[in-house]
């Protein structure tokens, strides 16, 4: 298959199908609605199932049911709808069920607007729902990368029995780019002998629950979850670096805004500034070590986000004061221009914090 021109939201859908997910429960919300419509059209063609739920709450609980029955399953939404899914995500984490949840973020808080934003970072990377849990979060910055990371999201979900979040924003969802579905074939999936799909006489009945009335039992469950999170931190961190070898300054940005940052950095390098880019691909687990290490050898870091400053908190935690960290962001769905970011970069080292 050669390259095809597709919209980001549709790429997510096709990538999910390529990853062996043929079950999708959705609810319309801009700017992710094309994904719902794409699945409604495509899934029947591959003998799968698309169901429009009555709400995001119902959709995530249908996902919980399908995941407990042992299939690869996906749902998607945008910020306000994602908030509604949090209860279900907490249950998925507690009951250790694999599923992929897409958030194509938009401006908030409240109803906000339908323009792209990265202001759900806290919500997706810090658990978001009740209880001690994390969900792996993958943040593609191109449509081609969506394909790779969607497949990864399902692998991680199955390997660790955990919900995984694919985080984009309205820009990624709406833009068109040529993509190629290469190197993804039908895979043998992990057998899910824990799934409640009817015993068929093969062993005793199975139970899926997140409830432990005994405190000791619930602590054991929590310990198991924490061990799983340590494993994920050890094995699943992904980060992309550019021009970091000679860099005196580093910009840290993820998702689509990292593309504008890259252009701004290239412009600054033409001016002779030694500046590089670190782009976290997994937002949780966060590439703290990479950032910590590099912060020992540089003069400063600039975090750029389409938010009032959320990821920058993780950057500061990683840097531990070893180098100054400044921030540049736009909110409300405003996409920072290459020029603005360039200007913010040029202020680095001049003692000015944007």
Partner 1 sequence: MKTVFKRTAGLKDNDTHYCPGCTHGIIHRLVAETLEELGALERTVGVASVGCSVLAYDYFNCDMTQAAHGRAPAVATGIKRVLPDDRLVFTYQGDGDLASIGMGEIVHSAARSENITVIFVNNAIYGMTGGQMAPTSLIGQKTATSPGGRTPRAQGLPIRVSEMLATLDGSTYIERVSTHNVPHIIKAKKAIRKAFETQEKQQGFSLIEVLSTCPTNWGLTPEESLDWVRDEMIPYYPLGIYKDIRKEREGV
Interface with partner 1 (CB under 8 A): 23, 25, 49, 51, 53-55, 57-59, 61-69, 71, 73, 87-88, 91, 95, 196-201, 205-211, 213
Cβ 135 to partner 1 shortest distance, Å: 17
Q: Which stretch of DSSP H or E encloses residue 138?
A: strand 137-138
Cβ 128 to partner 1 shortest distance, Å: 15
Of 91 and 181, which has the nearer Cβ to partner 1? 91
Cβ 76 to partner 1 shortest distance, Å: 15
User: Is residue 258 within 8 Å of residue 266, measured between CB atoms?
Assistant: no
Of 25 and 254, which has the nearer Cβ to partner 1? 25
User: Is residue 307 within 8 Å of residue 119, measured between CB atoms?
Assistant: yes
Per-residue tokens: 263:
């252009």
User: Is residue 134 within 8 Å of residue 110, measured between CB atoms?
Assistant: no
Cβ 84 to partner 1 shortest distance, Å: 11
- Its sign, for the CA torsion 64, 66, 67, 69, is positive
Cβ 177 to partner 1 shortest distance, Å: 32
Of 6 and 22, which has the nearer Cβ to partner 1? 22
User: Is residue 14 within 8 Å of residue 66, measured between CB atoms?
Assistant: no
Per-residue tokens: 251:
């910009």
Cβ 202 to partner 1 shortest distance, Å: 8
Of 40 and 51, which has the nearer Cβ to partner 1? 51
Of 206 and 293, which has the nearer Cβ to partner 1? 206
Nearest-10 Cα torsion for 236, 242, 245, 248: -110
In angstroms, the CA 334 to CA 354 distance is 17
Of 25 and 160, which has the nearer Cβ to partner 1? 25
Of 70 and 324, which has the nearer Cβ to partner 1? 70
Of 47 and 188, which has the nearer Cβ to partner 1? 47
Query: Tokens 């699945």 appear where?
Result: 39
Cβ 60 to partner 1 shortest distance, Å: 8
In angstroms, the CA 258 to CA 260 distance is 5
User: Is residue 88 within 8 Å of residue 57, measured between CB atoms?
Assistant: yes
Q: Which stretch of DSSP H or E encloses residue 99?
A: strand 99-105
User: Is residue 272 within 8 Å of residue 312, measured between CB atoms?
Assistant: no
In angstroms, the CA 196 to CA 215 distance is 25
Cβ 59 to partner 1 shortest distance, Å: 8
């Amino acid at each position: 298959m050669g390259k095809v021109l597709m919209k980001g939201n549709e790429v997510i859908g096709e990538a999910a199908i390529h990853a062996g997910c043929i079950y999708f429960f959705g609810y319309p919300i801009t700017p992710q609605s094309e994904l719902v419509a794409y699945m409604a059209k495509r899934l029947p063609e591959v003998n799968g199932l698309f169901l429009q739920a009555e709400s995001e709450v119902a959709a995530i609980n249908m996902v919980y049911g399908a995941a407990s029955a042992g299939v690869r399953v996906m749902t998607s939404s945008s910020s306000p709808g994602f908030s509604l899914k949090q209860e279900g995500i907490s249950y998925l984490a507690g009951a250790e069920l694999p599923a992929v949840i897409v958030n194509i973020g938009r401006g908030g808080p409240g109803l906000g607007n339908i323009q792209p934003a990265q202001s759900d970072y806290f919500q997706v990377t810090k658990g978001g729902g009740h209880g001690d849990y994390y969900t792996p979060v993958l943040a593609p910055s191109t449509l081609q990368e969506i394909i790779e990371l969607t497949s990864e999201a399902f692998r991680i979900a199955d390997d660790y029995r955990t919900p995984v979040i694919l985080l984009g924003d309205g820009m990624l969802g709406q833009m068109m780019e040529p993509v190629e579905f290469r190197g993804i074939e039908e895979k043998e999936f992990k057998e899910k002998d824990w799934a409640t799909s009817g015993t068929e006489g093969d062993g005793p009945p199975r139970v899926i629950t997140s409830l432990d009335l005994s405190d000791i039992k619930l602590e054991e469950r929590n310990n198991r979850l924490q061990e799983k999170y340590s494993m994920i931190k050890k094995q699943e961190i992904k980060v992309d670096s550019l021009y970091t070898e000679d860099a005196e300054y580093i910009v840290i940005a993820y998702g689509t805004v990292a593309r504008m940052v890259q252009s701004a950095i290239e412009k600054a390098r033409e001016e002779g500034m030694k500046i590089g880019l670190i782009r976290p691909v997994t937002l949780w687990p966060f590439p703290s070590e990479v950032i910590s290490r590099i912060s020992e050898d540089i003069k400063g870091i600039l975090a750029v986000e389409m938010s009032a400053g959320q990821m920058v908190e993780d950057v500061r935690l990683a840097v531990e004061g070893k180098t100054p960290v400044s921030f540049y962001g736009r909110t409300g769905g405003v996409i920072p221009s290459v020029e603005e970011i360039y200007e913010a970069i040029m202020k680095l080292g001049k003692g000015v914090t944007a």
